Homo-oligomer: A and B are copies of this chain.
Amino acid sequence: MGGKAILMICDGLGDRQFKGRTPLQRARRPNMNMLASKGITGLMDTISPGVTPGSDTAHLALFSYDPHTCYQGRGVYEALGAGLELEEGDVAFRCNFATVDSRMVVRDRRAGRITGVGEVLAKELNGQKVDSCGIVFKATTEHRGVLVLRGEGLSRNVSDVDPHEANMPVLKSKPLDGTMESKRTAFILNRFTEMSHEILAEHPINVEREKKGKPPANIVLSRGAGAYARLDTLEERYGIKSACVAGGALYKGVARAVRMDVIDVEGATATANTNLVAKASAVKKALEDHDVVFLHIKATDNFSHDGDINGKVKMIERIDKILPLLMKTGAYIILSGDHSTPCTTKNHSADPLPIVIYGEGVRVDDVKRFDEISCMKGGLGHIRGLDVMPIMLSLIGKTKIFGS
């Protein structure tokens, strides 16, 4: 016992059979199959059988935090992932810069996928006040940003102002329960949304864009309210030091919620062009002073949502190629996904995921391939997302005996 561990999660990895085979089964994956041959395999329901996980609840569960009690709403993880420090009671949202017409109908939810100006526009909004509530606004990538409402008496039980599709009017946020807090939060969010339009519509950047016939970034549309509450950290829970290597803000955000050290990697883009070798190197380096490193690879999910089976197969093959780098570290490797996203349905599904655990002393079952069907017969049987961290930490000697 003793050692270190890599928790490697390929987003949306699980799939269904199309013409008899899943993308994993189609992929040339000699290294994944070696892990299966020399390790123990099984299937994992990230939440529980039949429950379709979101990316946020899935990662909470994988980190050992029961999402039924710990989930705080997507906005929290987006804001943390954007690098904001949150305070107890903050209510956070994911946002888009968008284009509305004079009747407040959304013409482009992404303002022409505007790039390079978010930070400048954000300066006009950040630090404002609405009804004594503080406004923290940060632009992130392209048209994206995060909004944090900071003050007393706020609630996450409010509906989105983002209509989620174009040619629909901007919605009025509504309280989703009868509390004063929810009413007040909806009021503030609506006022902020109007204010963002008043401020941004006049901004020279947008005046210029309109002249050039480009959609102006003339409003902020918010969605996915979350209320921050401090969770006990992984270090408090298990006495371990942990790190996160991920490209996507959401995954960094969930990692920050449990106080993993988030390591920014040049070229980690959360898309198919991500630099997997750079990420693997970052994992190797992080293992020097962390017990557990969480490695997240997003693009498998992107291909799934596009229904691109070949793209997913090729991405799996690229991921397979970095496994030797990880195996050389001598750390335990736990490889799985956060949820299934069948290319056939293009949406998250409740199908369980294959999982393999590789490392010193692991009981080796007779499964030789890493895929959804082969791992049905694995020695782990069917486990749940909440089981992953305890199993992993017990292997590296970081859990205590229960009783004596």
| Chain A contact residues, CB within 8 Å of chain B | 1, 16-17, 22, 43, 47-58, 60, 67, 71, 74, 224, 342, 344-345, 347-351, 361-366, 372-373, 376-379, 381-383, 387-394, 399-404
Contacts and interface: CB of A to CB of B under 8 A. Distances in A.
A195 B400 CA distance: 33
Contact of A402 (B67, B363, B377, B401): B67
Contact of A53 (B17, B389, B393, B402): B402
Chain A, interface SS category: loop
B49 A363 contact: no
A50 B390 contact: yes
A50 B397 CA distance: 11
Nearest to A375: B379
Copies in the complex: 2
Contacts of A224: 404
A403 B54 contact: yes
A71 B403 contact: yes
Contacts of A347: 1
A47 B382 contact: no
B363 A373 contact: yes
B350 A394 contact: yes
10 contacts: A16-B361, A17-B363, A53-B401, A54-B402, A54-B404, A57-B403, A342-B361, A366-B373, A373-B379, A382-B382
A283 B383 CA distance: 35
A9 B74 CA distance: 40
Contacts of A47: 402
A404 B378 CA distance: 30
B379 A363 contact: no
A173 B74 CA distance: 46
Given A363-B17, A403-B53, A404-B56, A43 B387 contact: no
A7 B9 CA distance: 34
Given A17-B364, A381-B382, A402 B351 contact: no
B74 A403 contact: yes
Contacts of A49: 383, 387, 390-391
A362 to B, nearest CB: 8
Contacts of A57: 402-403
Find the residue from A52, A348, A366, A404 having the highest chain B CB count within 10 A: A404
A280 to B, nearest CB: 26
A223 to B, nearest CB: 9
Given A22-B363, A43-B381, A55-B404, 6 more contacts: A16-B361, A50-B390, A60-B403, A74-B404, A344-B361, A350-B394
